[in-house]
Structure 1
Amino acid sequence: MSPIKNLSEYYTRPDWVRRINAMGDSVGGAEKLIPLEADVLVRTAIDSTGGLTDFGTFDGDWHARFTSLITELEATGKLHTLGRLMTRQELLRGLRTRLLLTHARNETAAIADETIKAPLVITGPPRSGTSILFELLALDPNTRAPLAWEVLHPVPFGGAIESARLAMSECEQEFWADVQPEFAAIHELRSDLPVECVTLTLPGFSGGHWGMIANIPNWEADYSATMHYHRALLQTLQYGGPPRNWVLKTPLYLVFIDLLFATYPDAWVVHTHRDPLKTEPSSLSTLGTVRWERSEEVELPEAGGVGLGDMMLLLAKRRAAGELPDRIVDLHFTELMADPATAVEKLYGQMKRTFLAEHADAIRRYTAAKPKDKFGKHKYSPEEWGFDPIKLRQKMLPYTDHYGVTLEG
């Protein structure tokens, strides 16, 4: 890991953030003001649900993962005061969600019989069009994407209506850009937008969210448990509704695509592609920004180390060797940006799905109302994040040649 301690050269913290962090300093450390104690968090979550105690076993030993996660957050996370507050809230929400989800599944046994049929799964490096494609596929009347408000609060508690759950999730979603305004240009978070699977699986205490928000190199994600939780949540959200195909998304499926197909054998995977000189530095920049929101000392993987670029190279080799199901289709960023509706229609043809005229119209309306860089431009260069452009080009040449990726300069 490479320490990046000068992110203050990139970003200026809002005054209110600096003042909250100083409150931790004033009492001898952020950990004294906002403790992260596993047993206390568990008891607090139980109390918040009126005494529910069953956290579920559908994804294995959640408690061991939870305590291990907190141990590593305390050991190497270096969270400042606000970072600890944000993380404590997420830990508590995850525990509470598990309690409510398990209660709902125990009350209605038929939820476990729900079949997640042929989901459309988007994966690819950050800045390759995954987010906008996610939103566009969700416009199809025959699909459904998990929305932020229903993922953060999937089971109503105490009769909470949809608007109350929207309001609770909106606060949390918008907070990221409040803490660091530049984040809005990197990724739009809104309670009524589709949310990717790293957020969906947060309560499993096993997946990519936790390794994203803090430097915890000794903590190992358990992606098998992640997918068990993933299916349990989708089953619960789907129960009682009309049959529609889920649209899902996360770059991390590049890492555990075998588990994805083991969980959903009839899934269609859309692999997005873009010039690695744009995507690799952006990935590191995004990770740095996310961790800077919660820590004064940010550590990042070495530029050019094992990352999504390596995963894409491996995936290309495995596909060429016939080691993966023939249910992966490709989409180039340049094609998507040039004509979104035509690009989606082409995808649907490859997946043998019907592309509706009303879907095409919805895509055109949506993209017209959401211009590129609506919230500012995510500025980054390869050099400032430790990349040598020539070496990166050379390393990723097998990938760009194999897929015919357009080089953007």
Structure 2
Amino acid sequence: MEEAAARTGLSDFGDRAFTSALDVLCRAQEEESGLTPLGRVVAHGGLVQALSQRLLAVEWLKRHPEIADVPLASPIIVLGGMRSGTTRLHRLLALDPRLSATRFFEGQFPAPPLGFSRGGRDLRPLKARAFLAGSDLANPALRKIHPMRPREADEELPMLELSIWGAQIEAQRPVPSFRSWSETADARPAYRFLKSLLQLQTWLRGEDGSRPHILKTPQYSQDLAALLEVFPDARIVAIHRDPARMTASAASLAWNVMALVSGTVTKDWCGHEWLHKTAYRERTAAAVRAANPHVPAIDVSFADMNADPIEVMRRVYGFLGLGWSEEVERRQQSWLARSRRRGDHGRHRYSLQEFGLTERDIAAAFPSRSPA
């Protein structure tokens, strides 16, 4: 925190509820992560960056109190497990100019420098491009697993990290005690701050908040109760995938990242950790939805999205009350064609056995599920 304050020249972090998470995380990193020298640099740098962004965001909110009054129209929550197809669904929705979504550079750098002027030159996309170039050099396989581009819609997970919250932390280094702690900790402060960041984002764009925002990160399955408390008028578009494939893919992504920074992490550990996390999130989201039957929701499947994504999107549009048009379909077909040409989907290979898991493990963790 002192380093972030020195970097920015600021000292007000806003609500300090996040400091409990920071204490738990720092202990977990020291005792459980097995960080290599590179891993220590990456973990430390990531936390300083997140806290620096928090300081800047709080300062923007203080200097412009009108941001707190920016309305956010009834948001759309894309709900699903990690590697369930949420990214494709999210990005197809984000092609519609009637809707709003966080772009990658806005998620990574939600608060611009204090000298930034609305309507002026925004250097954050260039910073995001440099960030992705460095990521590609360090871990070229990651782009194939989760393609990212500076101005394309992406999840809000980095924004949650400003509150030391969310699986962006847990997917980067082994911190099982932090994961366990977060399952019972109060998520509401992180989501109240996320709302402030979305209001800041809307204000920085010069928009009035009338376009419904598409919210997407698998973390929302774990924190759905807090998310719905902060956004009580939200609507849910949930996607489901065969839990065996989903868990193996999630473990593969986590291993791909963790192996670069931890000298002790194993594939078996990643498999069992993400089996727990994937099943826990699904159970939690199902319970919250059952307790809130008034929240509008539609369910779609990964298999149907693979077979006929446009037909699934037509169903989603009908649920949302958005008119379907030739222009909407043209945009989505064009994006799907570009995605296929770039190989954004289908290159990621993984198996349960590679991560020490069996079909019996999956059946025990997901007793109510069948492949979908």
TM bin, normalised by shorter chain, reads 0.7 to 0.9
Over the residues paired in the alignment, what is the CA RMSD in angstroms? 2.5
| TM-score normalised by length of structure 1 | 0.80
Structure 2 partner of 1:231? 195
Task: Quote how far apart the aligned CAs of 1:369 are.
Answer: 1.0
Q: Is the 8 A contact 1:174 1:189 kept in 2?
A: no
Task: Give the match for residue 128 of structure 1.
Answer: 84
Which residue of the partner structure matches residue 241 of structure 1? 207
Match of 1:25 in 2: none
Q: What is the distance in 1 between the residues matched to 2:257 and 2:347? A: 16
CA distance in 1, matches of 2:105, 2:291: 39
Q: How many angstroms apart in 2 are the aligned matches of 1:372 and 1:275?
A: 26
2:253 matched to 1:286? yes
Q: In the alignment, is residue 188 of structure 1 matched against residue 152 of structure 2?
A: no
Alignment CA distance shift 1:127-1:373 (3 Å): farther
Deviation of the 1:391 alpha carbon: 5.1
SS state of the match for residue 325, structure 1?
coil
Q: Secondary structure at the match of 2:213?
A: strand
**Match among 40, 49, 52 for residue 84 of structure 1:** 40
The 8 Å contact of residues 241 and 301 in structure 2, kept in 1 or not, is answered as: yes
The CA distance in 2 between the partners of 1:81 and 1:96, in whole Å, is 22
1:381 corresponds, among 335, 339, 351, to 351
Length-normalised TM-score, structure 2: 0.87
Please name the residue that 1:337 is paired with.
306
d(CA) in 2 for partners of 1:304 and 1:241? 39
Question: How does 1:7-406 map onto structure 2 within 5 Å?
Answer: 42-49=1-8, 51-57=9-15, 60-157=16-113, 159=115, 162=121, 164-219=123-178, 220-221=181-182, 222=185, 223-239=187-203, 240-242=206-208, 243-298=210-265, 299-300=269-270, 302=272, 306-313=276-283, 315-316=285-286, 319=289, 323-371=292-340, 374=343, 377-390=347-360, 392-393=362-363, 396=366, 398-400=368-370, 406=372
Structure 1 residue 317, shift from structure 2 partner: 6.1
Measure, in 1, the Cα distance between the counterparts of 2:293 and 2:139: 40
Greater CA radius of gyration, 1 or 2? Answer: 1
Say if 1:83 and 1:260 are closer, same or farther in 2 by CA, change over 3 A.
same
The amino acid of 2:201's aligned partner reads: L
- Distance in 1 between residues matched to 2:39 and 2:314, nearest whole Å: 43
Q: Deviations over 1:262-321 (max 9, x none)?
A: 1111111111112222112112222222211211221436278533235435644665x5
Q: CA deviation at 1:252?
A: 1.9
Corresponding residue pairs, total: 357
1:300 and 1:43 map into 2 onto residues whose CA distance is: 33
Letter in 2 for 1:257: L
The CA deviation at 1:241 is: 0.8
Sequence identity, in percent? 25
How far did 1:397 drift?
5.6
Q: Distance in 2 between matches of 1:155 and 1:303?
A: 33
